[in-house]
Amino acid sequence: MDLTYTDEQKHFRQEVRSWMEAHVPSAPLPSFDASQEGFEAHREWERTLSKGRWGMVTWLETYGGRGLDLIQWLIFEEEYYRAGAPLRVNQNGIFLLGPTLMEYGTDEQKARFLTAMASGDEIWAQAWSEPQAGSDLAAVKSTATLDGDEYVLKGHKIWSSRAVFADWAFGLFRTDPASQRHEGLSLIFFKLDAPGVRVQAIPQIDGETGFAEIFLEDVRVPAFNRLGTEGEGWSICMATAGFERGLMLRSPARFQMAARRLVELYKAHEAEAEPSVRDAVMRCVMDTEAYALSIYSTASRLRAGGHIGAEASTNKIFWSEMDISMHKAALSILGARAELLRSAPAAGDIGKWLDGYFFSLAGPIYAGSNEIQRNIIAERLLGLPRA
Amino acid sequence: MDFRFTEEQEMTASVVRDLLADLCQPADLRRLMEAGEARDNARWDKIVEMGLAGILVPEHAGGLGLGAVDFVQCAEACGYAGLPEPLVENAGVALPLLAGASPAHPLLARALEGEITVAVGHGANPFVADADTAGAIVVERDGELHLIEADSASLTRQPSIDPFRRLFTVDFAASEATRIASAGEAAPLLAQAFDQGALFAAAQLLGIAQRCVDLAVDYAKERQQFGKPIGSYQAIKHHLATVQVKIEFARPVLHAAAAMLPQRDLYSRARISHAKLVAAEAADLAARTAIQVHGAMGYSWEVDVHFFLKRAIALDTWWGAPALHRGRVAARVLGGQLGPDSTFCKEQEHA
Give Cβ neighbours of residue B75 (< 8 Å, ≥ 6 apart): B88, B92, B200, B203, B204, B207
Tell me whether residue A2 is in a domain.
no
Amino acid residing at B304: D
What DSSP state is assigned to residue A273? -
Q: State yes or no: pLDDT of B349 exceeds 80.
A: no
At A41 the pLDDT is: 97
Span B304-331, mean pLDDT? 98
Interchain proximity A294–B252, CB inside 8 Å: yes
Phi, psi of B65 (to 5 degrees): 70, 25
Last residue of a domain, one of A118, A151, A185: A118
**Distance between CA A311 and CA A242 in Å, rounded?**
12
Burial readout A45-69 (b: 16 or more C-beta within 10 A, e: otherwise)? bbebbbeeebbbbbbeeebbbbeeb
Could you tell me what percentage of chain A is helix, strand and coil, using 3-state DSSP and rounding each to the nearest 5?
50, 15, 35
Query: Do A289 and A377 share a domain, yes or no?
Result: yes
Does the residue B15 lie in any domain?
no
**pLDDT score recorded for residue A241:** 42
Count the neighbouring beta carbons within 10 Å of the beta carbon of residue B34: 9
Q: Find, in chain B, the residue whose alpha carbon is nearest to that of A278.
A: B330
The total number of residues shown for chain B amounts to 351
| Percentage of chain A exceeding pLDDT 90 | 88
Confidence band for B150, pLDDT divided at 50, 70 and 90:
confident
By C-alpha distance, the chain B residue nearest A71 is B1
Residues A220, A279 within the same domain? no
Q: Is A37 a catalytic residue?
A: no
How confident is the prediction for chain B on average, in pLDDT? 97
Q: Judge whether A340 lies within some domain.
A: yes
Distance of CA B171 to the CA centre of its chain: 25
Q: Are A55 and A119 in contact (CB under 8 A)?
A: yes
Whether B38 maps to a domain, the answer reads: no
The answer to whether residue A266 is domain-embedded is yes
Q: At what angle do helices A275-303 and B234-260 cross, to 10 degrees?
A: 80
CATH number of the structural domain spanning residue A151: 2.40.110.10
* pLDDT > 90: percent of chain B: 98
Q: Is B177 exposed, middle or buried (0-12, 13-18, 19+ CB in 10 A)?
A: exposed
Query: In sequence order, which residues have a C-beta less than 8 Å from that of residue A357 and are 6 or more positions away?
Result: A324, A327, A328, A330, A331
Domain check: are A255 and A372 in the same one?
A: yes
Write down which residue in A202, A232, A262 finishes a domain. Answer: A232
Q: H/E element holding A34? A: none
The one catalytic residue in A78, A79, A244, A311 is A244
- pLDDT tens track for A76-97: 999 999 999 999 999 999 988 9
Least confident of A98-107, A131-140, A238-247, B142-151: A238-247
Beta-ladder partners of B338: none
From the list B237, B251, B344, the residue facing A378 with the nearest CB is B237
Q: pLDDT grade, residue A338 (50/70/90)?
A: very high
Distance separating alpha carbons of residues A303 and A298, to the nearest angstrom: 8
Q: Dump strand ranges (E) for chain A.
A: 124-127, 143-147, 150-161, 168-174, 185-191, 197-202, 211-222, 226-227
How near does any CA of chain A get to the CA of B76, in Å? Answer: 17
Q: Which residues of A touch B221 (CB under 8 A)?
A: 383-385
Q: Are A166 and A124 in contact, with CB atoms under 8 Å apart?
A: yes
pLDDT for residue B350: 52
Over residues B305-334, mean pLDDT: 98
Q: Is residue A238 in a domain? A: no
On whether both A139 and A87 belong to a single domain, the answer is no
**Cα dihedral A250, A356, B247, B295 in deg (nearest 10):** -130
Instruction: Tell me if A293 and B4 make a contact (CB, 8 A cut-off).
Output: no
| DSSP notation for B78-139 | HHHHT--S-HHHIIIIIHHHHHHH-TT-HHHHHHHHTS--EEEE-TTSSSEETTTT-SEEEE
Count of Cβ atoms closer than 10 Å to residue B102 Cβ: 18
In a domain, A366, yes or no: yes
ipTM above 0.85, yes or no: yes
Number of residues assigned to chain A: 387
DSSP-derived secondary structure letter, B262: G
Following DSSP, what letter does each residue of B234-260 receive, concatenated? HHHHHHHHHHHHHHHHHHHHHHHHHHH
- Report, as an integer, the average pLDDT of A125-145: 95
Give contacts of B330 with chain A, Cβ < 8 Å.
Answer: 278, 282
Nearest-angstrom CA–CA distance, A145 and B99: 76
CA separation (Å) from A175 to A150, A172, A188, B278? 12, 9, 10, 48
Please give the Cα distance from A193 to A197 (Å, whole number).
6
For residues A100 and A221, state if they share a domain.
Answer: no
Q: Are strands A124-127 and A168-174 parallel, antiparallel or unpaired?
A: parallel
Please give the Cα distance from B146 to A42 (Å, whole number): 67
Residue B335 in domain = yes
Mean pLDDT along residues A357-382: 94
| Cβ-count burial A7-43 (b if 16+ within 10 Å, e if not) | eebeebbeebbebbeeebeeeebebbbbeeebbbbbb
Question: What's the rounded mean pLDDT across residues A341-361?
Answer: 94
Residue A50 sits in the same domain as residue A75: yes
Same domain as A171, residue A298:
no
With a CB cutoff of 8 Å and minimum separation 6, the contacts of B58 are B65, B99, B103
pLDDT at A308 exceeding the cut of 70: yes
Q: Are A94 and A192 within one domain?
A: no
Instruction: Return the pLDDT at B80.
Output: 98
Is there a domain that residue A240 lies in?
no
* Cβ atoms of residues B166 and B158 within 8 Å: no
Segments in A223-274 forming alpha helices (H)? 233-238, 245-248, 252-268
Cα–Cα distance, B202 to B211 (Å, whole number): 14
Q: Is residue B74 part of a domain?
A: no
Asked whether residue A257 is assigned to any structural domain, the reply reads: yes
Q: Indicate whether A269 belongs to any domain.
A: yes
What CATH number is given to the structural domain containing B253? 1.20.140.10
* Beta-bridge partner residues of A216: A155, A197
Sort out which chain B residues have CB atoms less than 8 A from A293's CB and list them. Answer: 3, 252-253, 255-256, 343
Average pLDDT over every residue of A11-20: 98
Is A114 in the same domain as A131?
no
3-state SS class at A290: helix
pLDDT single digits (tens) A235-268? 998 875 445 566 777 899 999 999 999 999 999 9
Burial B253-292 (b: 16+ CB within 10 A, else e): bbbbbbbbbebebbbbbbbbbbbbbbbbbbbbbbbbbbbb
* Cβ A23 vs Cβ A48: under 8 Å: yes
Q: How far is A91 from chain B (nearest CA, A)?
A: 20
Is the Cα torsion angle B23, B29, B35, B39 positive or negative in sign? positive
Find, among A49, A73, A377, A55, the residue nearest to A240 by Cα: A377
**CATH at residue A309:** 1.20.140.10
Domain tally for chain B? 1
C-alpha to C-alpha distance for B344 and B268, rounded to whole angstroms: 9
Query: Inter-chain contact A384–B248, Cβ cutoff 8 Å?
Result: no
Looking at residue A164, its amino acid is V
Domain that holds residue A30: 7-118
Concatenated DSSP letters of A87-108: P-TTHIIIIIIHHHHHHH--HH
Query: B67: burial class by Cβ within 10 Å (0-12, 13-18, 19+)?
Result: middle
Q: Is residue B92 included in any domain, yes or no?
A: no
Residue A112 sits in the same domain as residue A168: no
Residue A245: predicted pLDDT: 60
Q: How much is the pTM?
A: 0.97
Is B289:B239 a contact under the CB 8 Å cutoff?
Answer: yes
Q: What is the CATH number of the domain that holds A40?
A: 1.10.540.10
- Across the range B312-316, mean pLDDT stands at 98
CA distance B237 to chain A (A): 5
Residues of A in contact with B4 (CB under 8 A): 1, 297, 300-301, 304
Q: How far is CA B341 from the centre of its chain?
A: 30
- pLDDT of B351 above 70: no
- Same-domain status, A109 and A128: no
Tens digit of pLDDT for each residue in B218-248?
999 999 999 999 999 999 999 999 999 999 9
- In chain A, the number of structural domains is 3
Range of the domain at B228: 187-350
Chain A hits for B256, CB-CB cut-off 8 Å, are 3, 293
Is pLDDT of A112 > 50? yes
Mean pLDDT value of segment A332-361: 94
Q: Is B173 inside any structural domain?
A: no
Instruction: Report which DSSP code applies to A289.
Output: H
Long-range contacts of A261-269 (CB under 8 A, 24+ apart): A261/A330, A261/A351, A262/A326, A262/A329, A262/A330, A262/A333, A263/B333, A263/B334, A263/B338, A265/A330, A265/A333, A265/A334, A265/A349, A265/A351, A265/A353, A266/A329, A266/A333, A267/B334, A268/A349, A269/A333, A269/A334
Q: Is the pLDDT of residue A349 over 90?
A: no
Of A101, A118, A135, the one marking the end of a domain is A118
Name the amino acid, one letter, at B334: L
- Specify if B19 maps to a domain: no
